[in-house]
Amino acid sequence: MARNGRYAHIVGWGMYVPAHRRTNDEIAAMVDTSDEWIATRTGIKERRIAAEHESTATMALRAGEAALEIASLAPEALDLIIVASATPDYLFPASACIVQDKLGADHAGAFDLSAACSGFVYGLSLAAQAIETGAIDTALVIGSETLSRFVDWKDRKTCILFGDGAGAVVLAGRNQRGGVLSSTLRSDGSGGELLLVPAGGSRHPASLETLANNQHTIKMLGREVFRFATRAMADAARVVVEKAGLTFDEVALVIPHQANSRIIETATRMLRLPEEKVYMNVERYGNTSSASIPIALCEAVEEGRVQPGDNLVLVGFGAGLTWAAAAVQWAVPWPVVPQPPQQRVLWRARRVFARLRSGWRRVGRRIWGALRWLQGKRGQPSAEE
């Protein structure tokens, strides 16, 4: 896919998941279900739930910081930050801007990307293309979700599936072949009603009625989504392998969106792949939407299942409907050379400084605003004049 001889390599990766685990048994105490039903139908055993002080942006920040540290890249060197999320902190500003501010990534553009569970691969593909054209040289691509805040904890058909977390990669331009070799982005909006949160946007803004009708939580037609997901995953994986000039024999590991073990197993059979070539960690985190692929990638790397020179296929599918895949050639050895202690201290200091500077800027803006207001007051003729 490279143009100008530039390739977008993954040079850093990081993940963050909240500490609190919610097991199937705990869900079985909330709705009419069982650990056995959930485990056999979905493969999920537990998921993480964000604490009150955590949100999509705070988790994205933690994953992004970890990825930058592995890449040994200072936040100021970033050209672009993309946060893929279906559950952003606000409609606006973008969660990516919150991350940019807290990182102190002063030279980076930042935006959120809405493509549900395919969002991370969409972001990876777009950032890689920007690097290949020479428009930018570095990018931080994050998938982050706080789905627990949009789950209807009384609906057993959906509440068993989702979890919270974030994963990130740093992309950097290099002249040697590798990195993102090919990608495909697809959509079919006619399937929009299969998986949606009906209210809270401009079509049905929040109102007492939308609240009373429970329209701010995830609604899903599970069977239809299942059928779409298996086909989409297999098709997209085939496309990117072919586009990259590879065969599946040359692919070391497929890292699919972790929605359901049965979806992954069905697609694995459709692609005639041996099980060990397909990564799965859905049992620990459930479906974390856009975060699931980068979280799985991090764990696969740290388990030693990804080696320099390996070809990987990342493949996602989700609401929209959307689906996407990318073929990636890995370049960085694991374990990475540990950073000297002084470097770690420097990273910590950098973080603290970025937070402080963000605070000063906010306070400064308020003081400036107040001064302007006072100035205006003084300059204005009074009512008696």
Which residues are catalytic, by number? 117, 257, 287
Q: Does 295 bind ligand COA (CB under 6 A)?
A: no
Q: Which two tokens stand for residue 171?
A: 């992309």
154 or 366: CB nearest ligand COA: 154
Spell out the alpha helix ranges (H) of the chain: 24-28, 35-42, 56-71, 95-103, 119-133, 208-212, 222-243, 261-270, 282-285, 292-302, 341-379
Helix, strand, or coil (residue 292): helix
Distance CA 292, CA 257 (A): 6
Applying CB under 6 A, which part among 72-80, 103-111, 217-225, 266-274 lies near ligand COA? 217-225
Closest CA to 166 of 19, 63, 57: 63
Shortest separation between residue 324's beta carbon and ligand COA, angstroms:
12
| 157 binds ligand COA per the rule CB under 6 A | yes
222 near ligand COA, judged by CB under 6 A? yes
Instruction: Please tell me whether residue 227 binds ligand COA under the rule CB under 6 A.
Output: no
Instruction: Single out the residue of 149, 140, 147 nearest to residue 105, CA to CA.
Output: 140
Binding residues for ligand COA, rule CB under 6 A, total 21
- 334 phi/psi in degrees, rounded to 5: -125, 135
Show the tokens assigned to 371: 């001064």
The nearest distance, CB 27 to ligand COA, in angstroms, is 8
- Give Cβ neighbours of residue 275 (< 8 Å, ≥ 6 apart): 265, 268
Residue least distant from ligand COA (Cβ): 222
CB of residue 361 vs ligand COA: minimum separation in angstroms?
Answer: 38
Q: Select 60 or 259, whichever has its Cβ closest to ligand COA.
A: 259
**How is residue 211 written in tokens?**
């609240």
Binding to ligand COA (CB under 6 A): which residues in 60-99? none
Cβ-based nearer residue to ligand COA, 100 or 268: 268
Among 117, 170, 278, 326, binds ligand COA (CB under 6 A): 117
Interface residues with ligand COA (CB under 6 A) are 33, 37-38, 41-42, 117, 156-157, 160-161, 220, 222-223, 225-226, 229, 259-260, 263, 287, 318
